[in-house]
Amino acid sequence: MTEGSATRTGHPTVVVDDLHIKYKTFASGKAASGTRALLQRQRGIRVVHAVKGMTFVAHEGESIGVIGHNGSGKSSLMRAIAGLQSPASGSVFASSQPALLGVNAALLGDLSGSKNVILGSLALGNSRAQADAVYQDIVDFSGLEEFIDLPMKTYSSGMAARLRFSIAVSRDHQILLVDEALAVGDKEFRAKSEARIRELREQAGTVFLVSHSMRSILDTCSRVLWIDHGNLKMDGDPQEVVDAYQASKN
Ligand SMILES: Nc1ncnc2c1ncn2[C@@H]1O[C@H](COP(=O)(O)OP(=O)(O)OP(=O)(O)O)[C@@H](O)[C@H]1O
Ligand SMILES: [Mg+2]
């Protein structure tokens, strides 16, 4: 593991200390086509060890890319930093509540879009007066004005994702987590979201960007973490880490 040459002068904002994440799932065995013995073996609790002891410190002013193959544990790590996933062992410390773009706002299907905008806004830490003040901006950004009085459960998944995203980006965050898999919506909305993400990145103290696009990683990050099978395989200079990652795939 190499240490990056990135600027590490800012205060620590996120400390991840020997973090382990495990998922317990019930395997029904129904997918197996084989014999009774095979079914018995596949039934019961299966444990997936998604993050296997990661340690690193993020600082103010850093823009940290997170790369690695599908299922390597990137989103699990982001959820743990955001406090949405509890560790099996180890710990995560953050200097302020991190915002994970797209999923932080827990919205309620029975309530109208407009009620959810207020609710989500309060959940981000706004006061009622602040929530009222940013309400119209959120609705405008979402482009969902004509549906805003309908219950959220009547929204398509794309519409719901747009509203969640619009709420999440309505506030500046000290620690911003962007999991690109969450980028949503049609082409026009994507362009708008990407522009807003860039703006937030400029204002945030520390940004994590999970992406499969090495171009956006190299364009925006000062440091890159390569996650491989739940392990932090490399941590350092973007070009060096991206080169090593790409070489490993050949
Ligand atoms: N809720 C869950 N229940 C059970 N297993 C899960 C759950 N979420 C993730 N996993 C498993 O944990 C591992 C890591 O998944 P994770 O979503 O963190 O990967 P990722 O690096 O974000 O992948 P991708 O690049 O595809 O987004 C995978 O094996 C996945 O199947
Ligand atoms: Mg993911």
pLDDT in tens, 202-249: 777 898 989 888 988 888 889 999 999 999 999 999 999 999 999 998
Task: Verify whether ligand 1 is closer than 6 Å to residue 218 (CB atom).
Answer: no
Distance between CA 92 and CA 250 in Å, rounded? 34
* Ligand minimally distant from the alpha carbon of residue 81: 1
Structure tokens at 28: 């029904």
Residue nearest to atom 30 of ligand 1 (CA): 71
User: Is the pLDDT reported for residue 104 higher than 60?
Assistant: no
Residue nearest to atom 17 of ligand 1 (CA): 75
Residue 135 within any structural domain of the chain: no
Return the pLDDT at 34.
57
**Cβ atoms within 10 Å of 144's Cβ, excluding its own:** 20
Task: Verify whether ligand 1 is closer than 6 Å to residue 71 (CB atom).
Answer: yes
Return the pLDDT at 3.
45
Where in the sequence is the domain holding 231, given as residue range(s)?
A: 59-101+169-249
Structure tokens at 63: 């823009």
Task: Verify whether ligand 1 is closer than 6 Å to residue 76 (CB atom).
Answer: yes
Task: Verify whether ligand 1 is closer than 6 Å to residue 230 (CB atom).
Answer: no
Question: Which of the residue ranges 3-12, 18-27, 81-90 would you say has the lowest mean pLDDT?
Answer: 3-12
Cα 15 to Cα 7, 77, 81, 115, distances in angstroms = 16, 12, 9, 35
Return the pLDDT at 170.
87
pLDDT in tens, 16-55: 999 999 999 887 765 545 555 555 555 678 899 999 999 9
Residue nearest to atom 28 of ligand 1 (CA): 71
Kindly give the number of the ligand 1 atom that is closest to the alpha carbon of 69.
25
What Rg do the C-alpha atoms of the chain give, in angstroms?
Answer: 20
Distance between CA 26 and CA 44 in Å, rounded? 5
DSSP at 243: H
Residue 40 within any structural domain of the chain: no
The stretches of 103-237 forming alpha helices (DSSP H) are 113-123, 128-142, 157-168, 187-203, 214-220
If one residue of 75, 85, 177, 249 were mutated to test the ligand 1 pocket, choosing by the most ligand atoms within 8 A of its CB, it would be: 75
The CATH number covering residue 74 comes to 3.40.50.300
Return the pLDDT at 2.
42
Residue 232 within any structural domain of the chain: yes
Residue 122 within any structural domain of the chain: no
Residue 53 within any structural domain of the chain: no
How far, in Å, is the centroid of ligand 1 from the Cα of 214? 20
